[in-house]
């Protein structure tokens, strides 16, 4: 496995997609080892092209540049931030009361077919000022969802499951694409950082770039390691749901976005993570083949929907 300058292992999705058994097995082994050890990989030859990424970032920057009163039109305080705009400082890390120094937008699932799960989801909110915003946002959503599906197929094989174990569980799942804007810092922050240290809630997170440095992951030596996005990679990490499911075999690594040095306070930061969630009814009970003989599961039984609601309350988005 080749390390990149990002400080985390690099894997090549082209190996998995090649159809060649040797290359596929190599990808599964490298991905599994990375997720057991640090919980993060840099993924190249993913399924979202550079043109889509550039277009999305252009639209995202235009949205966050809109006047505050315009953005607030798209903030619905009754839906726990599930769709549309969430204004500055509303979200905080678990076990912290200091609001993160960010504002963000949520694109959610566009349900395919006559799946009854449609009743669980809120419609996406359309930004009338930017006719391309929703279109490119949902294009990126579907590209990242498919990339995540392929990643989970490889993870399933690494865990000794059927390759397609996750497919039905993530079909029309409750995934979220979150464009984030960290505005320039204009005064000494009291206690908040751009994003406090945390672990992600979902199965896996796919991060398409970031406009400035700041992302750090906590390694096994309890050291913060800088992660800087490369143009041809996306960063993919394990979330808490997958850690629970695998009884801690795969690691949901703590990470954060730190404030820049004072001389760079005037620079904004943008990033766009895709949080891949399953359907709400998916059981997160620990997989039997991840529990050693004589051991007990580390977690109590819970569904993905129940777990998500617990965590949304902990980070201040749901009462």
User: Looking at the domain 47-314, which fold is it?
Assistant: Jelly Rolls (2.60.120)
Both tokens assigned to 56: 């999305």
Q: How far is Cα 166 from Cα 163, in angstroms, rounded to an integer?
A: 8
pLDDT band at 2 (very low <50, low <70, confident <90, very high): very low
Proportion of the chain above pLDDT 70, given as a percent: 84
Contact between 194 and 101 under an 8 Å Cβ cutoff? The reply is yes
Task: Give the residues across from 99 on adjacent strands.
Answer: 92
State the DSSP H helix or E strand holding residue 147, giving kind and residue range, or none if neither: helix 133-158
What are the structural domain ranges in the chain? 47-314
Among the ranges given (62-76, 190-204, 268-282), the one the predictor scored with the smallest mean pLDDT: 190-204
Q: How far is Cα 33 from Cα 28, in angstroms, rounded to an integer?
A: 8
Q: How far is Cα 105 from Cα 86, in angstroms, rounded to an integer?
A: 6
Q: What is the pTM of this model?
A: 0.89
CA dist list (Å): 104 to 30, 267, 273? 33, 17, 11
Among the ranges given (85-99, 166-180, 243-257, 298-312), the one the predictor scored with the smallest mean pLDDT: 85-99
| Average pLDDT over all residues of the chain | 87
| 255-257: strand order across its sheet | 195-198, 255-257, 215-218, 224-226
Both tokens assigned to 103: 């504002």
Q: What pLDDT sits at residue 62?
A: 97
User: Residue 127 burial by CB count (10 A; 0-12/13-18/19+): exposed, middle or buried?
Assistant: buried
The pLDDT tens digits for 251-267 are 998 878 776 666 666 67
Both tokens assigned to 279: 């359907």
The pLDDT tens digits for 121-173 are 999 999 999 999 999 999 999 999 999 999 999 999 999 999 999 999 999 99
């Amino acid at each position: 496995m080749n390390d990149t300058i990002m400080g985390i292992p690099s894997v090549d999705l082209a190996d998995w997609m090649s159809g060649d058994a040797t290359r596929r097995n190599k990808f599964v082994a490298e991905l599994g080892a990375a997720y057991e050890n640090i919980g993060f990989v840099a993924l190249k030859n993913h399924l979202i092209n550079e043109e889509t990424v550039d277009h999305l970032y252009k639209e995202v920057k235009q949205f966050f540049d809109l006047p505050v009163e315009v953005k607030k039109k798209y903030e619905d305080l009754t839906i726990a931030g599930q769709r549309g705009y969430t204004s500055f400082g509303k979200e905080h890390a678990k076990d912290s009361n200091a609001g993160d120094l960010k504002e963000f937008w949520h694109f959610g699932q566009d349900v395919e077919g006559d799946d009854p799960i449609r009743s669980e989801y809120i419609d996406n909110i359309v930004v009338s000022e930017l006719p391309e915003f929703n279109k490119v946002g949902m294009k990126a959503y579907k590209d990242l969802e498919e990339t995540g599906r392929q990643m989970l197929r490889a993870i399933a094989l690494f865990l000794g499951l059927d390759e397609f174990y996750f497919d039905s569980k993530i079909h029309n799942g409750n995934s979220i694409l979150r464009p984030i804007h960290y505005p320039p810092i204009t005064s000494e922050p009291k206690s908040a950082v751009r994003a406090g240290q945390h672990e992600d809630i979902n199965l896996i997170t796919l991060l398409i770039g970031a406009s400035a440095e700041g992302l750090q992951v906590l390694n096994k030596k309890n050291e913060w390691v800088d992660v800087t996005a490369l143009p041809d990679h996306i960063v993919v990490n394990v979330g808490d749901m997958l850690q629970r499911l695998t009884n801690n075999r795969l690691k949901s690594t703590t990470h954060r976005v730190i404030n820049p040095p004072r001389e760079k306070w005037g620079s904004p930061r943008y990033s766009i993570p895709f949080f891949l969630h399953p359907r709400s009814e998916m059981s997160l009970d620990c997989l039997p083949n991840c529990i050693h003989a004589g051991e007990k599961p580390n977690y109590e039984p819970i569904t993905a929907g129940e777990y998500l609601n617990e965590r949304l309350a902990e980070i201040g988005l749901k009462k």
